[in-house]
Amino acid sequence: MRLNILKTCVSKPWENPMHRRQILAILATAILAATHARAQQPAAHPVPEIPGLPPAAQAAAASIDPEKIRAHVRFLSLDLLEGRGPGKRGAELAAEYIATQFALAGVEPAGDNGTYFQRVPLVAVHTVEDKTKFSFVPASGQPVDLAYGSEIVSKDQTGQPTADFDAPIVFVGYGIHAPEYQWDDYAGPNGAEIDLKGKVALVIVNEPPSDDEKFFKGKALTYYGRWTYKYEEAARRGAVGVLVIHRTDLASYGWEVVRNSQAIEKSYLEGDPDATLRAAAWIQHGVAQRLFTLAGLGDLDKAIDTAGKPGAFHAVELPVRLRAHVESRVRRYVSSNVVGRVAGASSANQAVLYTAHYDHLGIDPDAPGDNIYNGAADNGTGCGILMELARAFAQSAERPPHAVYFSAVTAEEQGLLGSQFLGMHPPIPAGQIALDLNYDMLLPIGIPRSVDLGGAERIDFWPTVQSVAKAFDLALLPDPTPGAGHYYRSDHFSLARVGIPAFSVDQGDLFEGQTPEWGRKQSEDYVDHHYHQPSDEYRADWDFRGNAKLARFGFVLGWLASAQPNAVQWLAGDEFEAARKASYAHSH
């Protein structure tokens, strides 16, 4: 009922941008006032004294208020915002709210044409399963039809309604070209690069097995092991399609995960040069074995073992073609990143960037009962922290050493697309940005005493991160599942891949007054019962002091990174070092 009343109040005035801002400001003020009224007493905001951090910056960090973060989370997770689905009215409301908060705090606009908004053009693709057909066509013999869903799933990345092709299949092992590891799966038997133009690449999921930290980082998954890299690399080489071979032990998830993720609409950046495949596909392990049998290549698992050994594999074109007819429902739309700026004391090229995604999953019209995916924790919390960081920097009595940028990005749930667009079109050249700190899904369940900063150890700023964490009484935890490749699944990765040193600030399992087991159980309960579910809703009993502590921690890190005499760098040999060096060439 409350939702209907609010909709009635804003339906007509919402068409006017001025009225829209006024309504948001009124709602925001009311929520902030109500939230502060519920606070028992002013909260203490301890920020330790840290070498290089001036008193004004310490005071600005201390001003970060958990109740302000609470207010932002509460508003962003209202049913009024309809789950903040990209391109939908609720996401536009969220973007306008964040822009309004930036303006109220004194943060300058840093988006398109003097606004807070960076328009992100997107195309959504949904494969029409009953009209899409795939088959293997051997050089001799009858075609072998594949059952869509149970044996193969696919998306046409180009956003065209239909695609028809009949193309040779080339087995390229893991589909990796990694010069730093002297690894090239695209080299043929004679050492020359195999021609993929107009062909279909057959690739193994994951990456070559390793226990050597100097070879594909040992047990940790690098980006080369992600299926997104395999699509991009093949597309750069002119492939018309990619077939990723699924094997549960290598993927770490079953076929149903693949099938379900492909059963829904998938968005791409309009005009993305690395998203040109007419068939970005997965095939079942058993289907790949059938293909190997047709091609006379014998046992698939033996071939996978061979492909993982240095020097043992060469790309080979199979005597089998992939014939495809793909039909898609296509929807083009525009969403926006929200970008603001706080000027620095110096105009030198050492800006700091803070990011958090504001989108979520929207509304499921077919679901019974509560069908709004409110996304309170994911990622109302990150956005609340971002807005408080922006306010604290903007209202600091002393300007930061260099400019600080804040971006609430869209379409993260669609594959980091908003941050990818931001990385491709940053507010200033990537080589002029010293560091990106990202916040995503921090459960407000108490005051953390540990953090997970995966990726921070890969940059030369790491000793400073360690000392600041110690000052904040935050233990640094190693990644408990390095093989899962979590670093490549959050928005900071989009900035890292264009060279910007970047990582996310995540809390660990240890909280004040609790055991690590308690922290793990809280996290497991959220993942099992609320993650990407309509039940991820705001709770009045949430404790936002932890969000505030990690915001202050990030404030100090950003200030110190901006104050360094030299820009932050990736460590020598890191996979993003080359992109960092290339970013300098485009910064001048």
Reported as a pLDDT band with limits 50, 70 and 90, residue 2 is very low
Are both 238 and 360 inside the same structural domain? Answer: no
Average pLDDT value for residue range 24-39: 50
Are both 265 and 382 inside the same structural domain? Answer: no
What is the rounded CA–CA span in Å between residue 176 and residue 206?
10
SS3 assignment, position 458? helix
In a domain, 583, yes or no: no
What are 110's two structure tokens? 């840093």
pLDDT of amino acid 9: 36
Indicate the helix (H) or strand (E) that contains 164.
strand 162-171
Are both 400 and 544 inside the same structural domain? Answer: yes
Please report where in the chains the tokens 């360690």 appear, as a residue.
466
Are both 368 and 489 inside the same structural domain? Answer: yes
**Per-residue b or e along 369-402, where b marks 16 or more CB atoms closer than 10 Å to that residue's CB:** eeebbbbbbbbbbbbbbbbbbbbbbbebeebbbb
The DSSP bridge partners found for residue 433 are: 351
What is the rounded CA–CA span in Å between residue 570 and residue 501?
6
What are 228's two structure tokens? 């997104």
Indicate the helix (H) or strand (E) that contains 71.
helix 66-76
Other CB atoms within a 10 A radius of the CB of residue 305 amount to 12
In a domain, 43, yes or no: yes
CA 431 from chain center: how many Å? Answer: 21
Are both 96 and 147 inside the same structural domain? Answer: no
Are both 189 and 296 inside the same structural domain? Answer: yes
In a domain, 588, yes or no: no
Where does residue 76 fall: left (phi above 0), alpha (psi -120 to 50 degrees), or beta otherwise? alpha
pLDDT exceeds 50 at position 4? no
Listed in sequence order, the DSSP H helices in 106-241 are 227-236
Are both 431 and 524 inside the same structural domain? Answer: yes
Residue 245: exposure state from Cβ atoms within 10 A (0-12, 13-18, ≥19): buried
What total number of domains does the chain contain? 2
Per-residue model confidence as pLDDT tens digits over 546-572: 999 999 999 999 999 999 989 999 999
Q: What is the extent of the structural domain holding 400?
A: 2-106+343-578
Q: Nearest 5°: CA angle at 300, between 298 and 305?
A: 115
**Which residues have C-beta within 8 Å of that of residue 124, sequence separation ≥ 6?**
87, 265, 266, 267, 330, 331, 332, 333
pLDDT exceeds 90 at position 478? no
Are both 75 and 205 inside the same structural domain? Answer: no
What are 425's two structure tokens? 């079109």
Specify the range with the lowest mean pLDDT, choosing from 3-7, 254-258, 434-438, 580-584.
Answer: 3-7
CATH number reported for the structural domain that contains residue 194 in this entry: 3.50.30.30
pLDDT of amino acid 18: 52
pLDDT exceeds 60 at position 449? yes
SS3 assignment, position 499? coil
Where does residue 6 fall: left (phi above 0), alpha (psi -120 to 50 degrees), or beta otherwise? alpha
Beta strands in 459-577 (DSSP E): 475-476, 502-504, 506-507
Are both 397 and 522 inside the same structural domain? Answer: yes
What are 187's two structure tokens? 């080299």
Other CB atoms within a 10 A radius of the CB of residue 519 amount to 21
Distances (CA, A) of 248 to 205, 227, 303, 393, 476: 9, 14, 16, 47, 31
In a domain, 112, yes or no: no
Reported as a pLDDT band with limits 50, 70 and 90, residue 22 is low
Per-residue model confidence as pLDDT tens digits over 405-419: 999 999 999 999 999
Average pLDDT value for residue range 303-307: 97
Q: Nearest 5°: CA angle at 344, between 343 and 346?
A: 130
pLDDT of amino acid 17: 52
In a domain, 117, yes or no: no
Mean pLDDT of the chain: 91
In a domain, 113, yes or no: no
Are both 451 and 535 inside the same structural domain? Answer: yes
Domain boundary residue among 271, 295, 330? 330
In a domain, 172, yes or no: yes
Are both 466 and 567 inside the same structural domain? Answer: yes
pLDDT of amino acid 364: 86
For 153, phi then psi, to 5°, come to -135, 150
What is the rounded CA–CA span in Å between residue 479 and residue 452?
7
Average pLDDT value for residue range 27-37: 50
pLDDT of amino acid 26: 54
What are 7's two structure tokens? 């909709």
pLDDT exceeds 90 at position 228? yes
Are both 378 and 517 inside the same structural domain? Answer: yes
Cβ(207)–Cβ(216) below 8 Å: yes
CATH number reported for the structural domain that contains residue 83 in this entry: 3.40.630.10
pLDDT of amino acid 588: 57
Average pLDDT value for residue range 527-543: 93
Cis bond before residue 190 (omega within 30° of 0): no
What is the rounded CA–CA span in Å between residue 149 and residue 262?
9
Reported as a pLDDT band with limits 50, 70 and 90, residue 97 is very high
pLDDT exceeds 80 at position 316? yes
CA nearest 358: which of 340, 331, 341, 370?
340
What are 136's two structure tokens? 């293997």
Reported as a pLDDT band with limits 50, 70 and 90, residue 46 is confident
pLDDT of amino acid 482: 80
